[in-house]
Amino acid sequence: WPKDVGILALEVYFPAQYVDQTDLEKYNNVEAGKYTVGLGQTEMGFCSVQEDINSLCLTVVQRLMERTKLPWDSVGRLEVGTETIIDKSKAVKTVLMELFQDSGNTDIEGIDTTNACYGGTASLFNAANWMESSYWDGRYAMVVCGDIAVYPNDNARPTGGAGAVAMLLGPNAPLALEQGLRATHMENVYDFYKPNLASEYPMVDGKLSIQCYLRALDRCYASYCHKIQNQRKRAGINQAFTLDDFQFMIFHTPFCTMVQKSLARLMLNDFLSSSSNTQSSLYKELEAFRGLKLEDTYTNKALEKALVKASLDMFNKKTKASLYLATRNGNTYTSSLYGCLASLLSRHSAQDLAGSRIGAFSYGSGLAASLFSFRVSQDASPGSPLEQLVSSTSDLPKRLDSRKRMSPEEFTEIMNEREQFYHKVNFSPPGDINSLFPGTWYLEQVDQLHRRKYARRP
């Protein structure tokens, strides 16, 4: 099979408007700091009625193809991961074919994959599997993931967001998926789900969802360590795998403090599987908790506090940079993890990243979760694929700064409008297309038969 299959290029899209979380704290009459410190969120992006999941994906694919200047017939597989379902049959992928049709390229495998925030990762795995199979025809694969994360006006609303990421996959990639190293945990739970087909909003058991996320993380980490240790044994290396072996670690990010606690949780896993005479000074403060069973610790606040403190340096080095976009744009479900990857690249130089291993934890409620890893290429020289990939993300701060700040009142009005127009027929969405970023695709019209027509802002 081809060598080093992985990410060659990626593109991020987020809406041109946001609400400030400090404004939202005041508007919702909650204590100052609840969203900004407690959840770690400073701003939240949101879409007007003019954007839906199809338009988000059209925009991000178009942007990626234009930036890489690749011919439209060079893509042989296109996978979409999303949980923003506007049609129970017709895939977002079929809408994206509109972009490829003019080139005559209709020979593109792949379709949509759905399970909460996990669909992007399932799509990535599918695309990589295709490249490593006898069906690969030598062309690129593209993975598109995106969501509009909206909640009713309750305590979950500040954990919303919207956006999409498109990734180009090929061999000899600067971010190669590590072969043979995927650890998965799946089970049947009702922590977050969307049974109401007449609404965009999910049913959420917030506290349960946090426990499910942490349990899935524990299980995936144990299984990942086991698999990599087996690989090492086969290579004659007798050394336990620990968090030190991930130079960087990225997570699905429902809100940013959840990620800081998750990295701390991995430290707990290492600590509990270490012996009591381990010399690590990091563990000194944790000794009081030795002997605990992982499954008994999900609600132990004293332990959580000690872990967050003990892992602070590690968090600053390995993970904090990856939260840049999530802090300012919020949760984007399937694309959240890949937005974290883009943030990590945007906040480090190619030299910092060269040769490192990036651990990635993907979580989708319901639940499906995987922990896997990327190997970053050694070559960080100017013009190298790694340097080009890294520099393509450098405009993230400028793009985020150029968004329009909307008041909580305007945000609420737009949320109400989204409710009102959800599944409505025979309308053209209200709003000014000039409020979208140039080059953005938008929903122009929904006809009597629910058929959607899109146009692109010049």
Q: 297 to 316, contacts with ligand CAA by CB under 6 A?
A: none
Among residues 25, 79, 83, 387, the one annotated as catalytic is: 83
State how far the Cα of 85 lies from the Cα of 79, in Å rounded to an integer. Answer: 15
90 binds ligand CAA (CB under 6 A): no
The H-or-E segment that residue 256 falls in is: helix 256-273
Shorter beta-carbon distance to ligand CAA: residue 204 or 228: 204
Residue from 156, 164, 220, 344 touching ligand CAA (CB under 6 A): that is: 156
Nearest distance from C-beta of residue 65 to ligand CAA, angstroms: 28
Written as six digits, the tokens of 332 are 């984007």
Q: Which range of residues in 8-16, 104-112, 209-217, 373-381 is near ligand CAA by CB under 6 A?
A: 209-217
**For ligand CAA, which is the closer residue by CB, 296 or 432?**
296
- Give the shortest CB-37-to-ligand CAA separation in angstroms: 4
**255/271 with CB nearer ligand CAA:** 255
Does residue 252 carry a catalytic annotation? yes
Catalytic residue list contains 117: yes
Q: Which of 118, 130, 192, 374 binds ligand CAA (CB under 6 A)?
A: 192
- Within residues 239-258, the interface with ligand CAA by CB under 6 A covers 252, 254-255, 258
- Based on CB atoms, which residue is closest to ligand CAA, 181 or 308? 308
The angle, 0 to 180 degrees and rounded to 10, between the axes of the packed helices 119-131 and 336-346 is: 70
Q: Judged by CB under 6 A, which of 125, 140, 246, 333 binds ligand CAA?
A: 333
d(CA 156, CA 168): 33
Residues 6+ away with beta carbon under 8 Å from 277: none
Nearest-angstrom CA–CA distance, 264 and 251: 12
189 binds ligand CAA (CB under 6 A): no
Residue 83 one-letter amino acid: E
Instruction: Determine contact, residues 342/393, Cβ cutoff 8 Å.
Output: yes
What part of residues 350-369 is at the interface with ligand CAA (CB under 6 A)?
Answer: 363, 365
Quick check: 249 and 243 in contact, CB under 8 A?
A: yes
Q: What is the DSSP letter of 35?
A: I
- How far does CA 116 lie from the centroid of its chain? 11
38 lies in the binding site for ligand CAA (CB under 6 A): yes
Confirm if 311 and 128 have CB atoms less than 8 A apart. Answer: no
Q: 3-class SS at 45?
A: strand
The Cα–Cα gap between 157 and 125 comes to 31
List contacts with ligand CAA (CB under 6 A).
Answer: 31-34, 37-39, 117, 155-156, 159, 192, 204, 206-207, 209-210, 213, 252, 254-255, 258, 331, 333, 363, 365
